[in-house]
Amino acid sequence: DTGVSQDPRHKITKRGQNVTFRCDPISEHNRLYWYRQTLGQGPEFLTYFQNEAQLEKSRLLSDRFSAERPKGSFSTLEIQRTEQGDSAMYLCASSRAGTGDTEAFFGQGTRLTVV
Amino acid sequence: AQSVAQPEDQVNVAEGNPLTVKCTYSVSGNPYLFWYVQYPNRGLQFLLKYITGDNLVKGSYGFEAEFNKSQTSFHLKKPSALVSDSALYFCAVRDTGAGSYQLTFGKGTKLSVIP
């Protein structure tokens, strides 16, 4: 087990293009989260899955953003018609559901630059 | 709504001296509290958490934090700072009264340990 894996690590795209990021969580973790981090700020919550069900979505997740976790394993985050304001680090995290609560483990992130 | 405040953007401490990084929070229910560290070009690494029980929690790399319910604080401490502790530190909270699994992060505190 090598932790949470995100691909790609960096993405440069032109404004108006669509981009898709992938996250592979730690294998036994059934909770998966997406966060966005901009320079000088802490991560901001975007969305949360338990298994394949998307249970929470932030108001930050506009209709240009969509996330899926079709088989309850890996997840994808798609941004349509990218804007310069979408430039940020997109972080994926996973945790194990169970009694009590456990910490979330983060991947190294995908840095998106919209030009 | 849950929120976290890290009142210091930067903390400077001499190597070998004790360090404190401050965090205060606001929640409607009981808090789950976390500290994460972020090194340049790397993801967030979990340091420690408070869920319930002893107010003093110990974590990785010699760090500890004290939960103070009356002051709604969760300050991170270490008795003797190392140059390698220099990084960006984030406090995060989950409000168990909100029925949500999202973490709310502070803006981060940059710790610089001076040799």
Per residue, what are the HEC states of chain A? CCCCEEECCEEEECCCCCEEEEEECCCCCCEEEEEEECCCCCCEEEEEEECCEEEEECCCCCCCEEEECCCCCCEEEEECCCCHHHCEEEEEEEECCCCCCCCCEECCCEEEEEC
CA–CA separation, A72 and A55 (whole Å) = 13
Does the pLDDT value for residue A97 go beyond 90? Answer: no
pLDDT value for A99: 58
Within the 69-108 window of chain A, which residues sit less than 8 Å (CB to CB) from chain B? 91, 93, 100-101, 103-108
Collect all residues of chain B within an 8 Å Cβ-Cβ radius of residue A91: 43-44
pLDDT in tens, B23-32: 999 998 889 9
β-strands A88-95, B3-5 pairing? unpaired
CB B76 within 8 A of CB B47: yes
pLDDT value for A61: 86
Query: Mean pLDDT over all residues of chain B?
Result: 94
Does the pLDDT value for residue A31 go beyond 60? Answer: yes
- Top residue of A26, A32, A101, A111 to mutate, by most chain B CBs within 10 Å, is A101
> Where is pLDDT greater, at B86 or B43?
B86
Closest partner residue to B105 (CB to CB) among A42, A56, A103 is A42
Binning pLDDT at 50, 70 and 90, where does residue A100 land? Answer: low
Does the pLDDT value for residue A32 go beyond 70? Answer: yes
Binning pLDDT at 50, 70 and 90, where does residue B100 land? Answer: confident
pLDDT in tens, B68-98: 999 999 999 999 999 999 999 999 999 887 7
Collect all residues of chain B within an 8 Å Cβ-Cβ radius of residue A93: 44
The CA distance from B66 to the nearest CA of chain A, in Å, is 17
- Report the DSSP beta bridge partners of residue A67: A77
For chain B, percent of residues with pLDDT exceeding 90: 83
Average pLDDT over residues A33-39: 95
Nearest CA in chain B to A39: B107
Q: Assess A113–B contact: CB distance below 8 Å, yes or no.
A: no
Binning pLDDT at 50, 70 and 90, where does residue A90 land? Answer: very high
Q: Torsion over CA of A98, A30, B107 and B83, rounded to 10 degrees?
A: 80
Collect all residues of chain A within an 8 Å Cβ-Cβ radius of residue B51: 100-101
